[in-house]
Amino acid sequence: MEQHQWERLCQWISDAGAAGMEPASCAVKPGLFDMGGESIRGLAATKDLQPKDVLMSVPIYCTIVAEEIAQPFDGASWGASLAAKVFQEQARGEESPFYAYLQTLPPSATTTVLAQPHELAEVQYEPMAARIQDLTLRFQHDFDQCPPFALEGASWVDFVNVLATIYSRTFRINGRRYLIPAVDQLNHTVGEHQAEWRLDEAEGVINVVATAPVPSGGQLFASYGHRSNDDFLLFYGFVPAKNPADDVEVFNTVDAAVEWAVDRFAPDDPTAARAAAAAAAAVVQSRMEAEERETEAAEGMAFEVVAGQRPSEMALRVLRSGEVDGRLMAALEALHSAGGGVHPLEAIVHRCAEVLSEFPTTAEDDVGILQEANAELSDLAKLLIRYRIGKKVVLMTVIELCNQELASWQEDRGAE
């Protein structure tokens, strides 16, 4: 986005009644920032900022709400509806009330949906390969069902780029999905963020408020939520470095985990151990589902960036932070108590090592591939290699942390 496009956007928002959005006085401005060796566009502070300072204010009138626009076909997804709306408004040119906003949207998006087979081969992680296929089929269904006039004759590639852009920029507020001008320019961080968005229903605006001091010229980051690199790659087109929430699937079901452990560690009574492990995991499953319902019902918790999956619906995973799925730990602890013969953390180490060994290359190999990369390796292929490095680092980190905890446990036992 160019400076003149930003100024036009701010003026449009200001003319709609937003305070503090005049181009000359707005607290933020676009800029280029070095992030991991890449120049990434983001938002910078135009002055020293303090917590609670209002950085941007966008009237709801200036947003595009999926639930308030016509569906391009019966049963259309919210994404298809927003994509059709964007194409239709773009066709109106400067006559569109959203012209200033539409000019800030990128002409293309980084998306696995347009990846070539040789690029997809770089993923090396079957759960992600399956999700990429599912997302591609979803995009294809939406495109096939949309009548050409609804998309203003857009091609498949044009449609994918717009829909991928929409996925990366949509916010959910109280169950409704919004495209929010200006606010969607904030980049994500896995560390401390300096900005968050808040809905002021009384004033009919969405405010972006500083949550930490930011010096003039400093980049402002928001948080898109606690989610794995799978979601970031699929829905946002980038892979955060050192993401503590990145995860790896170690079992696709509790039953698979229990059968693996029973077969591997041979409890004295396999039938009883199997039943105990399944029951323990079911207790955790019920608790997870209850907590999710409470979270959704809690005041203010419905406002989040769209994407992701409920933890209770996911396969059993380990996280880079060292966290292990509670259902898996409960099952392994019950199995151990039933005579499974191995500490639960030791079982986790065994399983992570198995999954790690199934990758055709090591993380060290992958780093070398990136260092030697030439023009034949596309930007998307490089992104997918960085993604798979992250998966291997998750497993290696969990192995290291579990071994440390096991050593501490054994030391404590020896001191007794």
Range name among 143-152, 166-175, 294-303, 321-330 with the lowest pLDDT average: 294-303
As beta bridge partners, residue 28 has 45
Contact at 8 Å (CB) between 164 and 135?
no
Task: Give the number of C-alpha atoms closer than 13 A to the C-alpha of residue 251, restricted to the C-beta side.
Answer: 22
What one-letter code names the amino acid at 5?
Q
Contact at 8 Å (CB) between 320 and 246?
yes
Nearest to 166 by CA among 113, 97, 109: 109
Q: Is the model more confident about 412 or about 212?
A: 212
206-242 pLDDT, tens digit each = 999 999 999 999 989 888 878 899 999 999 999 998 9
Summarize the confidence of residues 161-178 as an average pLDDT.
91
User: Residue 130: CB partners within 8 Å, gap ≥ 6?
Assistant: none
Q: Is the model more confident about 373 or about 278?
A: 278
Give residue 224's pLDDT.
Answer: 83
Summarize the confidence of residues 57-64 as an average pLDDT.
94
Asked if residue 97 has pLDDT above 90, the reply is yes
Cα 166 to Cα 151: distance, rounded to the nearest angstrom: 14
CATH number of 3-236: 3.90.1410.10
Nearest to 160 by CA among 172, 151, 150, 149: 151
Question: Over 286-338, what HEC string results?
Answer: HHHHHHHHHHHHCCCCCCEECCCCCHHHCCEEEECCCCECHHHHHHHHHHHHH
Give residue 303's pLDDT.
Answer: 41
Give residue 34's pLDDT.
Answer: 72
Summarize the confidence of residues 67-76 as an average pLDDT.
94
As beta bridge partners, residue 64 has 179
pLDDT tier at 305 (50, 70, 90 boundaries)? very low
Cα 102 to Cα 218: distance, rounded to the nearest angstrom: 26
DSSP assignment of 204-215, as one string? TEEEEEE-S-B-
Domains in the chain: boundaries: 3-236, 247-415
